[in-house]
Amino acid sequence: MTVPAAVGRVPAADLLIVGADVVTMDAARQVVLDGSILVRGGRVAAIGPAEQLRAAHPGVAELDARGCIVVPGLINAHQHTTASPLTRSTTPDDIDSQLAIFGWTVPLHEQVSGDDDELSALLTAAESLSRGVTTVLEAGTVGHPARVAAGLRTAGIRGRVGRWGWDVAGGKYAAPVEQSLALQEDAVLAVGTDSLVTGWVTLVGHGLASDELFVGAAELAQRLDVQVTWHISPSADDTRTYAERSGRPPVVHLERLGVLGPRLLLGHAVWLDNAEVDAILRSGTAVASCPGAYLRLGQGYTRAARHTEIIRRGGRVALGCDAHNAGDVPDVFRAAWLLAALDRDRGTSEPFRSDEAFAAATIGGAEAIGLSELIGSIEVGKAADLVVLDGADLGWIPRGDLALQLVWGDAGRTVRDVLVDGRIVVRDRALQTVDVAELRREAADRSVALLRRAGIDVPHRWPSVTAEKYELAGAPCA
Ligand SMILES: [Zn+2]
């Protein structure tokens, strides 16, 4: 394949980011006005006045951020990086979930090649970085984990990657429990470990795992010392399935199996009863909330979700953006906006606030995925995953309260510069690690070929005509 090569990747060098309002998201939620940040060895080495840092560290290259806002890189804890990014906006929005899964998702995933997976991950990472998202956790539908890791590494984003698999029902990725677990372990080892991308255990979840596989996956994650994730209860379907299967709600069943705990990140967990919420809180299990997908798929989020309640009660919730064909884009600013907005619309007496939503996008998300020692806030010693928002953009004129404006405004479109692990990966809104023109060409070709192999003929809502055959509807203009 002709995967777009990394071009112009700037190595992590010392850098002084000068003159911004720094939203630290530290424990006191301090905003450092007219602050400067020294980046050294990929880490935040110092925060203070520019003159003081210049005097202490002469000769360091500078990034002028006067008038800008610097925030921690955003965290996306549930993102499908394969198949869907190459076929975005093709699954109709008037079909039921069964047809969407078995008519689209499954055939597409059965046809993806390693080249498709790597390019798709690169595309997802590139778009994520352009939106200020610096950490992406793959949600567990990957046929070629090492290739996905390669795509993420090329883009320069922080990531976690696992492998698609289950042991119930059939299909290309089904395997008996022992084999499934061996494949999971192989995937974690194949992804490798560097400062950015590592492997983790990923099951599809839902009703597609035996009790033995759930228990084995939790034990495997413990042994490999990695996190583990799977899907549960985005809609009421899993509740019905588990009532038939075990006579218990899904999360209560998982607690009985002994698989809940701080190492586990449940994708979705929207439809929960009181006992399930208590089990999540009691066990320290984390949840990835993807509000954009719940709206696009009509999953009843505002009727059922308890995510903001879990946060308020001290639980661990990160934001996610699910899949491109679930109507989601890898935009955690938008997910934070939805988390707060949907809670307000419930009419509760103490609705979720923008500052809480932005915390879920940053430090709260980091805590949920077990990385709060490394990322999620701008503090000395942490990784330099930083986003410079262009204060000259019309969206910041005039400047209001930062917590309000970061969520209720449109901060995501003002992303100017992005650093991951101290490396500049976006500069003046241009990706530094990816040749976007080449990415565009390759993605267009692979999209057409993948849909053809999957036997999918994309319906179009509106008729397309050539300019030569275009006819004015109705009476011609005078
Ligand atoms: Zn998902």
Last residue of a domain, one of 368, 401, 418: 368
The pLDDT-based confidence of 255 (bands split at 50, 70, 90) is very high
398: cis peptide before it, omega within 30°?
yes
Residue 35 lies in a domain: yes
Same domain, 360 and 427: no
pLDDT, average across residues 373-401: 97
Question: Is the pLDDT at 454 greater than 60, yes or no?
Answer: yes
Last residue of a domain, one of 368, 394, 416: 368
C-alpha distances (whole Å) from 101 to each of 164, 270, 395 are 15, 19, 38
Same domain, 27 and 87: no
**H or E element at residue 354:** helix 354-361
The pLDDT-based confidence of 10 (bands split at 50, 70, 90) is very low
Name the token pair of 211. Answer: 């009790």
Same domain, 416 and 335: no
Residue 208 lies in a domain: yes
pLDDT, average across residues 25-31: 98
Quote the distance between the C-alpha of residue 215 and its chain's center. Answer: 26
Protein residues near ligand 1, an ion, with CB under 5 A = 139, 322
Question: Is the pLDDT at 35 greater than 80, yes or no?
Answer: yes
- Are 213 and 165 in contact by the 8 Å Cβ rule? The answer is no
| Listed residue (371, 319, 333, 363) closest to 27, CA to CA | 363
Residue 39 CA to ligand 1 center (angstroms) comes to 35
137 pairs with which residues across the strands?
Answer: 160
- pLDDT number for residue 3: 38
Same domain, 228 and 94: yes
Residue 97 lies in a domain: yes
Same domain, 190 and 54: no
pLDDT (tens digit per residue) in 295-347:
998 899 999 999 999 999 999 999 999 998 887 799 999 999 999 999 999 88
Name the token pair of 150. Answer: 């390669």
What does the alpha-carbon distance between residue 270 and residue 87 come to, in Å, rounded to a whole number? 26
What does the alpha-carbon distance between residue 466 and residue 56 come to, in Å, rounded to a whole number? 64
What's the CATH number where 384 sits? 2.30.40.10
Same domain, 104 and 147: yes
Residue 341 lies in a domain: yes
pLDDT, average across residues 352-359: 98
Residue 132 lies in a domain: yes
pLDDT, average across residues 277-288: 98
Residue 105 CA to ligand 1 center (angstroms) comes to 11
Question: Is the pLDDT at 14 greater than 90, yes or no?
Answer: yes
Same domain, 136 and 190: yes
Same domain, 263 and 161: yes
| Listed residue (318, 316, 302, 227) closest to 270, CA to CA | 302
What does the alpha-carbon distance between residue 359 and residue 376 come to, in Å, rounded to a whole number? 8
Instruction: Return the percentage of the chain with pLDDT > 90, whole number.
Output: 86
Which domain, by its residues, includes 418?
15-72+378-431
Return the SS3 of 161. strand
Residue 112 CA to ligand 1 center (angstroms) comes to 17
Q: For residue 55, count CB atoms less than 10 angstroms from its CB and return exposed for 0-12, middle for 13-18, buried for 19 or more.
A: exposed
Return the SS3 of 472. coil
| Listed residue (329, 237, 240) closest to 290, CA to CA | 329
Q: Edge-to-edge strand order for the sheet containing 158-161?
A: 74-79, 133-138, 158-161, 197-199
pLDDT (tens digit per residue) in 140-183:
878 999 999 999 999 999 999 999 888 987 778 889 999 999 99
Question: Is the pLDDT at 11 greater than 90, yes or no?
Answer: no
Residue 91 CA to ligand 1 center (angstroms) comes to 15
Residue 87 lies in a domain: yes
Q: Domain count of the chain? A: 2
Residue 321 CA to ligand 1 center (angstroms) comes to 8
* Exposure of 73 in the CB half-sphere (CA atoms within 13 A): 34
C-alpha distances (whole Å) from 436 to each of 66, 152, 198, 383, 441 are 28, 15, 25, 26, 9
- Are 405 and 358 in contact by the 8 Å Cβ rule? The answer is no
Question: Is the pLDDT at 475 greater than 60, yes or no?
Answer: no
- pLDDT number for residue 173: 83
Query: Could you tell me the maximum CA-CA distance found in the chain, to the nearest angstrom?
Result: 77
| Listed residue (186, 182, 127, 188) closest to 152, CA to CA | 127
Name the token pair of 387. Answer: 């986003």
Residue 415 CA to ligand 1 center (angstroms) comes to 26
Name the token pair of 475. Answer: 């009476």
What does the alpha-carbon distance between residue 20 and residue 36 come to, in Å, rounded to a whole number? 6
What does the alpha-carbon distance between residue 274 and residue 253 come to, in Å, rounded to a whole number? 14
The pLDDT-based confidence of 194 (bands split at 50, 70, 90) is confident
Who has greater pLDDT, 474 or 478? 474
| Listed residue (425, 384, 422) closest to 152, CA to CA | 425
Same domain, 132 and 253: yes
Mean pLDDT of all residues belonging to the chain: 93
Same domain, 39 and 97: no
Q: Phi and psi of 432, rounded to 5°?
A: -95, -10
Paired sense of beta strands 15-23 and 31-40, if any: antiparallel
Paired sense of beta strands 158-161 and 386-389, if any: unpaired
- pLDDT number for residue 2: 39
Q: Phi and psi of 417, rounded to 5°?
A: -135, 145
Question: Is the pLDDT at 476 greater than 80, yes or no?
Answer: no
Residue 171 CA to ligand 1 center (angstroms) comes to 18
What's the CATH number where 130 sits? 3.20.20.140
Same domain, 78 and 41: no
Residue 165 CA to ligand 1 center (angstroms) comes to 13
The pLDDT-based confidence of 7 (bands split at 50, 70, 90) is very low
Same domain, 193 and 55: no
The pLDDT-based confidence of 278 (bands split at 50, 70, 90) is very high
Residue 268 CA to ligand 1 center (angstroms) comes to 8
The pLDDT-based confidence of 418 (bands split at 50, 70, 90) is very high
pLDDT, average across residues 43-56: 97
Question: Is the pLDDT at 478 greater than 60, yes or no?
Answer: no
Residue 201 CA to ligand 1 center (angstroms) comes to 14
CB atoms within 10 A of CB 178: 12
| Count, residues in the chain | 478
Residue 335 CA to ligand 1 center (angstroms) comes to 14
Residue 454 lies in a domain: no
Residue 452 lies in a domain: no
- pLDDT number for residue 6: 41
Return the SS3 of 78. strand
Last residue of a domain, one of 322, 347, 368: 368
- pLDDT number for residue 477: 58
Residue 9 CA to ligand 1 center (angstroms) comes to 31
